[in-house]
Amino acid sequence: MFEISRRDLIVGAAGAYAAFGLDRPLAFIGAAQAQTTPAAPGFKSTKVGDLEVISLYDGVWEKPHDENFIKGANVEQTKAELKAAGLPDGFVPIPFTMVAVRSPSGVVLIDSGTGGQTGGPKAGLAMQSMQAVGIAPKDVKTIVISHFHGDHIFGLKAKDSTAQVFPDAEIIVPAAELKWWTQPIDSIPAPRRGNAQAVQNTLQTWKNVKPVDGEADLAPGIRAIPAFGHTQGHTAHLVSSGGKQLLVSGDITNIYSLFAKHPDWQAQFDHVPDLAVETRKKMFERAIAEKWMVAGYHWGLPNVGTISKDGSGYAFTAA
């Protein structure tokens, strides 16, 4: 059963494109070929040493296929890989899953979700997922951000204004990311200007935003690991406790069935595509060598597990 109207889908998809830094929707799926993807709040808890790490599901964007999405693969190859992974292939299902860490000094959120302001009509469930696990916005003392694409930061602001959802939290952002998005608007490539304007109206003006440069400890047990390429300042986060580590990898890859399996495939969302490929491989090799668990923002639920070599690419196995 296809329960959203075609109009909702179009409006949602158009908004999604804007936030991903693309200037226009390129194609729409027809209701007849659409398959539904579950869209309900959810969470999954994992232990990393003594720390509890909670994956919070924020919904899914059913991204219409288009030939420009992946450099390195056409739509037929993309569909074949989705099918092989047991996923719907009438669109590319791109889920959003944030991570919360319960630390002795309060809850630390890693990224903030879509805020229901991008990602289509099935995104924006993060607050319900937080509520389901018993975390209230006031419990969140620190938010660390991987990068400034809308699906990672719009959850910081109210839907109809630039008011903050977490006004009492410290928001720690990669300095390189803040610098890139707050350049004079004319210096930003045209398709990314809308997102840049949103950053300049919010994070740039908020007093509780703290830019941090390079590899650094951000909160007890949480270390920033620069992983540039997806964006100019994209940063992963290593959660460590009791000799165990979890790499919260942000957008080092988009969905693993496509981009971990084929690390050379370049999603349209990558700002510096060649560097994104290099970083993807380097970080996965490091995670394998160091025996880190890995979580991805677009990996659905469960999104925490291990990465292993798989032919010329990598495979994800849920914990």
Residues that bind Zn ion (CB under 5 A): 149, 151, 251
Give CA–CA dist 256/134, Å, rounded: 29
**Residue among 292 and 297 whose Cβ is closer to Zn ion:** 297
**Residue among 51 and 301 whose Cβ is closer to Zn ion:** 301
Rounded to 5 degrees, what angle do the CA atoms 34, 35, 38 make? 135
Instruction: Give me the least distance between CB of 153 and Zn ion, in Å please.
Output: 10
**Residue among 241 and 299 whose Cβ is closer to Zn ion:** 299
Give CA–CA dist 161/50, Å, rounded: 38
66 contacts: CB under 8 Å, gap ≥ 6: 26, 27, 75
Instruction: Give me the least distance between CB of 151 and Zn ion, in Å please.
Output: 5
**Residue among 51 and 260 whose Cβ is closer to Zn ion:** 260
**Residue among 299 and 314 whose Cβ is closer to Zn ion:** 299
CA of 263: how far to CAs of 285, 291, 317, in Å? Answer: 12, 20, 16
Task: State both tokens at 45.
Answer: 């808890």
Instruction: Give me the least distance between CB of 96 and Zn ion, in Å please.
Output: 7
Give CA–CA dist 134/137, Å, rounded: 10
44 contacts: CB under 8 Å, gap ≥ 6: 54, 55, 301, 302, 303, 304
Instruction: Give me the least distance between CB of 251 and Zn ion, in Å please.
Output: 4
**Residue among 69 and 103 whose Cβ is closer to Zn ion:** 69
Instruction: Give me the least distance between CB of 230 and Zn ion, in Å please.
Output: 8
Do 172 and 210 contact (CB within 8 A), yes or no?
A: yes
Instruction: Give me the least distance between CB of 105 and Zn ion, in Å please.
Output: 27
CB atoms within 10 A of CB 310: 12
Task: State both tokens at 143.
Answer: 């938010």
**Residue among 51 and 172 whose Cβ is closer to Zn ion:** 172
What DSSP designation does 64 have? P
Instruction: Give me the least distance between CB of 26 and Zn ion, in Å please.
Output: 18
